[in-house]
């Protein structure tokens, strides 16, 4: 280099230490300034060019119109190029005139000139590629300015020293160059207009990140506007930015799908290759192992899709890791500087500046890395959800049978989330070893082999940590089981709460829940103690490591002296080393979970799909709409065929009925026509569009109108016709919002009949060519069935002329069909017209004989329900029986599983999915619904999403639940721990300052002993505080859950009618989980980071009191950031969780309705729907990620300022400070950044989690019903003796503010009398029985039983003395014995006697478990009839003087009904029986009949007299064919 500068006026030296370092006015040699310094920016630009050009080539954003800004930038670039050339020509001019300039004067202008030309061209190229703000060029101009500042100062100093300017020409050109470069830097900070044709021009609320400038992106300043808005008012959906194109579902999912497709193709290619080998010798074939079939790898597909993000994040991570080691080196130099009084002061200022710069660079790069990796994680989740959704739309029914909806929802929610959680740690796989190696290398340099002692401690602690976390995991798994069973039990209690109240069974179930909760809390306590031990290890590790390393170092060799530099530099290196090692256990557990999830997802994606070609849609024999030629079908390859050798031809426009006994394959035939079954042989042809009405109506969670339109454009005339013909107009008057009423999940707020009619209206509106109707008339009343057949299906209906295939049990409609297909055992046994089949005495004639008895009443529903029950029984006894799928898609299992899943999934998203309790809407609820909705417009009150700050009273509530002493002692223990930590470090600082006597330190043992004692004290205090926290937290969890449970069990029925069970369950699952497991660790972390921050400030202030000056401004800045962040992030989190539930509700809804979606050909629309919901969720997740980065950058800036001022004030006060104190204060400052960041995070987490306490408290204070037992007023023993029931001037309303349901009813029933209660829907029949049990309390008047006013005694005294057989037979999961006698009051003989009388003994004795037979949830493994008989057995066991029978409507077949009526007549002969009758024939022999009309007594007399009187009862009897 010296030669390059030549001799002459520059002198030949390139570097001169005396000029540059050992002086108070440092400067660089002119040679250095003109060569290397001038070349640095040029080297940078040329190095970055290839990568940058590659990036620009692949990112075209549209071009930007040439603006004034662009012109100015270009002009500056050209001018700079000119200045460089002028310099070069001046050198040539000198050469010609014999002044021989040094070679550097030719090289530098040439290099700079070409680089300036490149920069100018780059400005224009970026404009054409749509770059609004160029980071590469900003850095280039910045480097140019920084490198020009030194010559700027030098030239002025040398001119002043010489008294004249030596080279006026170069002096002038340099300052022109400096001015131009400075202007270029300023201009490059302004961003260009958005490119033409960019999405921003169309977007109403684009994400500002896309158009943000370089510095704004680097510091996440673009987020500030949203942070301010979130601080001013709670954020709403409309405030959220739109997603950028590359984050949208359709883009991301498509990329992953393509990669997965490639994997599948490769796998199938390798399978074909292994399947067709060349034919070698026989022995070779025998010896060769069979090749394993290669499965496509989902992991590879993921890596392929996200390679660029992974590489980008790895680059950022590498730079950040390397920068992490700069500060300990600078600290080492700083301590040396303080120890050396002769060193020039500017060294110290330079070191402080470099420390600040290094920390700031580290902050900026770390957060770019995090942003990159979290956005990738978000895209990863989106892609996985999209791929699973698309797969779920096309899986075969056999796959669907193997995996429940809940399991599929889990794939989407839990497994996709696991991938998202593990992504941020993925780079640790290579960065952790790198950091460990670097740390050990630097430690070795300071302490020599002694460093290995510290490393050994860390390595030994890893398995200990691992063991603790493994043990915690096993506890967690056990505890999850308890939690699941508790939630399941709670869900059943909520679903059957009315039955529990009617039977007065609450105490039994209360005890069950408490028992489970007790076991759950015990495990929680054990897990929390382990957590405390793990915290102890984590806090003690750095201290133990330092202690052992320094101890070994001092004792190994007497000449080893511990000075400040060694002590504090090694301390800060150990702090760096601690982070990756502590993350490793987390990474390992994350990876194991992710690998399990990966396998689950991969298996699901490799499942069989339906063959779209199994139904021929193009060609068909002329004149026919549907043909099956020799068709054999099965539900799964491993099951025997369900349908075989079918030959069916259906002409266009025909109405075909399909009949046959239960399980003969009627629904399967419809499924085969839809292509839902696996075709083994034959040809199926279906020509034209298809509409399908399944046996179990599938209703979406959207408005009734949207359910009918089902994605088709609105045609008012056709729509009106569909509603009219399907008898929906009357229902619209009842529904609160007409056809805009939102239907709950699975049509929960519609009755079975209404759901079926909506499903039919959807088909009618679709105006398809072919209609496949799978028993649509079963769920509706007989007169409605007749209306629908006449108006819709029959020869005169709206569908006349279309091809209709009708599966039915209704005999009365068969004569009107064109022909009938009779199925038996999966084959067509007969086919032909009604009359022809009647004459041919075959299976059809038998079928008619079986069902004929019902015909006089046209009671198809009973027949069908009977059939349905048989189906259910079959499902249990013959799991492989074909009929399992006749009830497609195994709705019961699905509903059960789904309720469980959703309760745990929907966090605050309850506003979105308004689930109502799962019940059949019986007559009472219909009444209730009508009244309530008319009154209030909406039945379910919407839950309000909390906004704004959490009230202090909530924190106070939690502190009180923990115990105030406990709370106080935790804080004190933490304070003590911080004091011990400071003490230990101050002691270390004093030790390092010990005067060196004879080259060795004295009192080493004392120093080491005290240091160890202080450290151990710190560890013990940490452990104590963690244990105290566990005790407090478990107590709070117990008390809060107990209060909630007691209140809910005692809430009145009206509360459960107006609150969706999902919302109550959420309190018991999500909120209790937060109180159990999340709050305590959050509080501990908060205390930890708070005390660390405070102690840092104290240490720095103690060592350099001048620091006090900056504490206040920094605290104010920190406070500002914290206020803005917490408000915004809290609301973003709420929005995120609200928008998450709909993704999963929509998914589970889709899975249950895939056959309908496919039949109507709406798969594409549903993919778009799902993508929209996912994008909606991403819209709040993305700003939430950005908010964390924004916080990180700003808070770490405060931390970096602390480092800067700690170093700066140490330099200023160097004369009064010793090296030990400086080491102490700066090493503390280096740690503060992390603590400040965590503190805000934890404050925010605490705020969002403490809401759980608020929500639980809110439901622990709702109004309760009357006391269960009134000690001062107990009912006499054996009451009621006669069973005389009297209503005196009795009125009642459902809830305050609603109309009266019963008005001034006065009725007197003698003991032992049998009274039937009848009336139209909504007359108040069920209300009467509810009043008797005080489920509804009187508005006025009273009810007297045997002379005792029921309002004066406790609820349980009353309810336990009355007996009811409710309309809905609800059973609880557990043994049959528990379902009959939960309190264990009756003997085994009593129970068997009751079972015998209720005709259940044969069934129960046939079960191997007998009375311990396990009933499924809701009694799903018993038929509806059997469940009704169990309720009868309950009544027989209790056998009180008053029996209320709320007669089951169509839910029960005639045979069971006769059994029940017969038993009641014999067993309850001398009891008072009140029967709410739907079938009049059951009460025609009663003593009297009470007719209610609109809540008043219309008629009350014996049936004979009432018929003779010709009033309301006569009309009803006439309708039923009894008069």
Residue ranges at the known binding site for ATP: 660-667, 1319-1326
Q: Distance (Å, rounded) from C-alpha 369 to C-alpha 2?
A: 42
Spatial strand order in the sheet of 1362-1365: 1362-1365, 1442-1446, 1472-1476, 1314-1318, 1488-1493, 1496-1501
Q: Distance (Å, rounded) from C-alpha 31 to C-alpha 10?
A: 6
Closest CA to 1095 of 985, 1207, 978, 976: 978
The most distant pair of C-alpha atoms in the chain lies apart, rounded to whole Å, by 141
> Which contacts (CB < 8 Å, 24+ apart) does range 157-166 have?
157/25, 157/27, 166/9
CB 1485: neighbour CB atoms within 10 A? 11
Alpha helices in 297-396 (DSSP H): 298-305, 307-324, 326-339, 345-392
Which DSSP letter does residue 519 get?
A: H
Query: What secondary structure does DSSP assign to 1472-1515, as a single string?
Result: EEEEE-SSGGGTTTSSEEEEEETTEEEEEE-HHHHHHHTSHHHH
Q: Distance (Å, rounded) from C-alpha 523 to C-alpha 475?
A: 6
Token pair of 103 as six digits = 């070679």
Q: Distance (Å, rounded) from C-alpha 1409 to C-alpha 1390?
A: 18
1124 burial via Cβ count (<10 Å: 0-12, 13-18, 19+) = buried
1440 burial via Cβ count (<10 Å: 0-12, 13-18, 19+) = middle
Within 13 Å of residue 641, how many CA atoms lie on the same side as its CB?
17
Q: Distance (Å, rounded) from C-alpha 910 to C-alpha 942?
A: 8
Q: Distance (Å, rounded) from C-alpha 1072 to C-alpha 1054?
A: 24
Q: Report yes or no: 974 and 1085 within 8 Å, Cβ to Cβ.
A: no
Q: Distance (Å, rounded) from C-alpha 586 to C-alpha 466?
A: 9
Q: Distance (Å, rounded) from C-alpha 1061 to C-alpha 1074?
A: 19
Q: Report yes or no: 1072 and 1041 within 8 Å, Cβ to Cβ.
A: yes
Q: Distance (Å, rounded) from C-alpha 1281 to C-alpha 264?
A: 77
Q: Distance (Å, rounded) from C-alpha 1043 to C-alpha 1037?
A: 10
CA distances from 1343 to 1, 1322, 1389 (A): 111, 21, 36
Q: Distance (Å, rounded) from C-alpha 2 to C-alpha 1447?
A: 109
Q: Distance (Å, rounded) from C-alpha 704 to C-alpha 706?
A: 5
Query: What secondary structure does DSSP assign to 1030-1054, as a single string?
Result: HHHHHHHHHHHHHHHHHHHHTS-HH
Q: At what angle do helices 1004-1049 and 1079-1103 cross, to 10 degrees?
A: 150
Instruction: Output the known binding site.
Output: 660-667, 1319-1326
Identify any residues that bridge with 1343 across adjacent strands, giving them in sequence order. 1287
Does a cis peptide bond (omega within 30 degrees of 0) precede residue 1280?
yes
Through-space distance between the first and last CA atoms of the chain, rounded to whole angstroms: 122
Closest CA to 690 of 614, 632, 766, 603: 766
* Length, in residues, of the chain: 1523
Q: Which sign, positive or negative, has the C-alpha torsion 863, 864, 866, 871?
A: positive
């Amino acid at each position: 280099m010296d030669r390059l500068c030549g001799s002459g006026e520059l002198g030949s030296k390139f570097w001169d230490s005396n000029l540059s370092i050992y002086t108070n006015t440092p400067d660089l040699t002119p040679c250095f300034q003109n060569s290397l310094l001038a070349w640095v920016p040029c080297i940078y630009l040329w190095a970055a060019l290839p990568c940058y050009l590659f990036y620009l080539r692949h990112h075209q954003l549209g071009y930007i119109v040439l603006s004034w800004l662009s012109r100015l930038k270009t002009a500056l670039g050209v001018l700079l190029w000119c200045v460089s050339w002028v310099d070069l020509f001046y050198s040539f001019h000198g050469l010609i005139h014999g002044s021989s300039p040094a070679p550097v004067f030719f090289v530098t202008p040439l290099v700079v000139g070409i680089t300036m030309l490149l920069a100018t061209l780059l400005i224009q190229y970026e404009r054409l590629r749509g770059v609004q703000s160029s980071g590469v060029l900003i850095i280039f101009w910045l480097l140019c300015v920084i490198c020009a500042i030194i010559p700027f100062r030098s030239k002025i100093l040398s001119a002043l020293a010489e008294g004249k300017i030596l080279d006026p020409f170069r002096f002038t050109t340099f300052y022109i160059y400096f001015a131009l470069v400075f202007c270029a830097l300023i201009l490059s900070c302004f961003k260009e207009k958005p490119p033409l044709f960019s999405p921003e021009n169309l977007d109403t609320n684009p994400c500002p990140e896309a158009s943000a400038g370089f510095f704004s992106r680097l510091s996440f300043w673009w987020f500030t506007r949203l942070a301010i808005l979130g601080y001013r008012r709670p954020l709403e959906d409309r405030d959220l930015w739109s997603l950028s194109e590359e984050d949208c579902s359709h883009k991301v999912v498509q990329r992953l799908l393509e990669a997965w497709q490639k994997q599948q193709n490769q796998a199938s290619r390798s399978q074909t290759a292994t399947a067709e080998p060349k034919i070698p010798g026989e022995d070779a074939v025998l010896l060769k192992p069979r090749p394993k079939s290669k499965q496509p790898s989902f992991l590879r597909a993921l890596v392929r899709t996200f390679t660029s993000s992974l590489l980008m994040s790895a680059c950022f991570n590498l730079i950040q890791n390397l920068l992490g080691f700069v500060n300990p080196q600078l600290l080492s130099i700083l301590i040396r500087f303080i120890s050396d009084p002769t060193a020039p002061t500017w060294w110290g200022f330079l070191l402080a500046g470099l420390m600040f710069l290094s920390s700031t660079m580290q902050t900026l790069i770390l957060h770019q890395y995090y942003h990159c990796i979290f956005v990738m994680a978000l895209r990863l989740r989106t892609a996985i959800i999209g791929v699973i959704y698309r797969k779920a739309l096309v899986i075969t029914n056999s796959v669907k049978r193997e995996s429940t909806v809940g399991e599929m929802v889990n794939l989407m929610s839990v497994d996709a989330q696991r991938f998202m959680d593990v992504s941020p740690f993925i780079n640790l796989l290579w960065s952790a070893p790198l950091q460990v190696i670097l740390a050990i290398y630097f430690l070795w340099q300071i302490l020599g082999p002694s460093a290995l002692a510290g490393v050994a401690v860390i390595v030994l602690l890893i398995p200990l940590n691992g063991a603790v976390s493994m043990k915690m995991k096993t506890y967690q798994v056990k505890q999850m089981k308890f939690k699941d069973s508790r939630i399941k039990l709670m869900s059943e209690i909520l679903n059957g709460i009315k039955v529990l109240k009617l039977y007065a069974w609450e105490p039994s179930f209360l005890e069950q829940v408490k028992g489970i909760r007790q076991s759950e809390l015990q495990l929680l306590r054990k897990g929390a103690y382990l957590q405390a031990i793990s915290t102890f290890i984590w806090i003690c590790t750095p201290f133990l490591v330092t202690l052992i390393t320094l101890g070994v170092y001092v004792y190994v060799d007497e000449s080893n002296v511990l000075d400040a530099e060694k002590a504090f530099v090694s301390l800060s290196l150990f702090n760096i080393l601690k982070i990756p090692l502590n993350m490793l256990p987390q990474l390992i557990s994350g990876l194991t979970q992710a690998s399990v999830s990966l396998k689950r997802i991969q298996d699901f994606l490799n499942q069989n799909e339906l063959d779209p070609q199994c139904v021929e849609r193009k060609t068909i024999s002329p004149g026919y709409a549907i043909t099956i030629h020799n068709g054999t079908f099965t539900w799964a390859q491993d099951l025997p065929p369900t349908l075989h050798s079918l030959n069916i031809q259906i002409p266009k426009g025909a109405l075909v009925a399909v009949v046959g006994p239960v399980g003969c394959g009627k629904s399967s035939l419809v499924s085969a026509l839809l292509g839902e079954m696996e075709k083994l042989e034959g040809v199926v042809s279906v020509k034209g569009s298809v509409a399908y009405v399944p046996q179990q109506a599938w209703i979406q969670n959207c408005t009734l109108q949207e359910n009918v339109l089902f994605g088709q454009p609105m045609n008012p005339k056709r729509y009106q016709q569909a509603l009219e013909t399907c008898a929906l107009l009357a229902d619209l008057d009842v529904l609160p919002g007409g056809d805009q009423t939102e239907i709950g999940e699975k049509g929960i707020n519609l009755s079975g009949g209404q759901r079926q009619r909506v499903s039919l209206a959807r088909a009618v509106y679709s105006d398809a060519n072919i209609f496949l109707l799978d028993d649509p008339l079963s769920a509706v009343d007989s007169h409605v069935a007749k209306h629908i057949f006449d108006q819709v299906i029959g020869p005169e209906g709206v569908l006349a002329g279309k091809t209709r295939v009708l599966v039915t049990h209704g005999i009365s409609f068969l004569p009107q069909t064109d022909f009938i297909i009779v199925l038996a055992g999966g084959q067509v046994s007969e086919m032909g017209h009604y009359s022809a089949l009647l004459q041919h005495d075959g299976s059809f004639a038998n079928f008619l004989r079986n069902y004929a008895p019902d015909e006089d009443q046209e009671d198809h529903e009973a027949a069908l329900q009977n059939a349905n029950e048989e189906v259910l029984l079959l499902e249990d006894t013959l799991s492989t029986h074909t009929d399992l799928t006749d009830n497609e898609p195994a709705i019961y299992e699905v509903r059960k599983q789904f309720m469980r899943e959703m309760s745990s999934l929907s966090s605050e998203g309850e506003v979105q999915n308004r689930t109502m309790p799962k019940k059949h809407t019986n007559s009472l609820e219909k009444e209730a619904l009508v009244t309530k909705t008319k009154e209030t417009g909406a039945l379910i009150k919407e839950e309000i999403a909390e906004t704004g700050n959490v009230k202090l009273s909530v924190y106070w509530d939690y502190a009180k639940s923990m115990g105030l002493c406990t709370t106080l002692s935790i804080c004190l223990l933490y304070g003590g721990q911080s004091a011990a930590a400071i003490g230990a470090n101050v002691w270390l600082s004093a030790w390092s300052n010990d005067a060196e006597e004879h080259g060795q330190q004295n009192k080493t043992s004392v120093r080491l002993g005290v240091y160890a004692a202080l450290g151990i004290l710190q560890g013990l205090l940490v452990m104590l505080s963690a244990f105290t926290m566990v005790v407090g937290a478990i107590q709070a969890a117990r008390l809060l859950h107990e209060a909630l449970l007691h209140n809910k069990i005692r809430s009145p029925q009206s509360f459960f009618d107006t609150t969706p069970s999902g919302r109550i369950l959420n309190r018991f699952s999500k909120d209790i989980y937060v109180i159990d497991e999340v709050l305590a660790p959050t509080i501990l972390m908060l205390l930890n980071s708070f005390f660390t921050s405070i102690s840092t400030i104290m240490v720095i202030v103690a060592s350099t009191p001048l620091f006090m000056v900056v504490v206040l401004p920094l605290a104010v800045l920190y406070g500002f950031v914290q206020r803005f962040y917490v408000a915004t992030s809290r609301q973003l989190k709420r929005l995120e969780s609200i928008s998450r539930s709909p993704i999963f509700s929509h998914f589970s809804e889709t899975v249950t309705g895939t056959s309908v979606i496919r039949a109507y050909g709406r798969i594409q629309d549903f993919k778009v729907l799902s993508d929209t919901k996912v994008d909606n969720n991403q819209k709040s997740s993305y700003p939430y990620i950005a908010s964390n980065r924004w916080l990180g950058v700003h808070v770490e800036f405060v931390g970096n300022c602390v480092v800067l001022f700690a170093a700066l004030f140490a330099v200023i006060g160097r004369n009064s400070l010793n090296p030990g104190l400086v080491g102490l204060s700066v090493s503390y400052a280096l740690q503060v950044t992390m603590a400040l960041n965590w503190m805000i995070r934890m404050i925010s987490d605490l705020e969002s989690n403490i809401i759980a306490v608020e929500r639980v408290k809110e439901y622990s204070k709702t109004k309760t019903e009357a006391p269960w037992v009134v000690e001062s007023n107990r009912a006499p023993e054996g009451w009621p003796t006669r069973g005389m029931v009297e209503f005196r001037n009795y009125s009642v309303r459902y809830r305050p503010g609603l109309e009266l349901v019963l008005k001034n009813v006065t009725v007197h029933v003698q003991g032992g009398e049998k009274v039937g209660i009848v009336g139209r829907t909504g007359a108040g029949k069920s209300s009467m029985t509810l009043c008797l049990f005080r489920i509804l309390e009187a508005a006025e008047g009273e009810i007297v039983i045997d002379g005792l006013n029921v309002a004066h005694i406790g609820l349980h005294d009353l309810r336990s003395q009355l007996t009811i057989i409710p309309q809905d037979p609800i059973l609880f999961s557990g043994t049959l014995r528990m379902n009959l006698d939960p309190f264990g009051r009756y003997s085994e003989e009593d129970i068997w006697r009751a079972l015998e009388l209720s005709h259940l003994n044969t069934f129960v004795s046939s079960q191997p478990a007998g009375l311990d037979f396990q009933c499924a949830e809701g009694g799903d493994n018993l038929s509806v009839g059997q469940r009704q008989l169990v309720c009868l057995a309950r009544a027989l066991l209790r056998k009180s003087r008053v029996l209320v029978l709320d007669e089951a409507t169509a839910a029960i077949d005639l045979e069971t009904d006769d059994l029940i009526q017969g038993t009641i007549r014999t067993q309850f002969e001398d009891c008072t029986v009140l029967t709410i009758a739907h079938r009049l024939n059951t009460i025609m022999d009663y003593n009297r009949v009470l007719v209610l009309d609109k809540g008043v007594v219309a008629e009350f007399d014996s049936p004979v007299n009432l018929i003779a009187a010709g009033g309301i009862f006569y009309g009803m009897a006439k309708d039923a064919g009894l008069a």
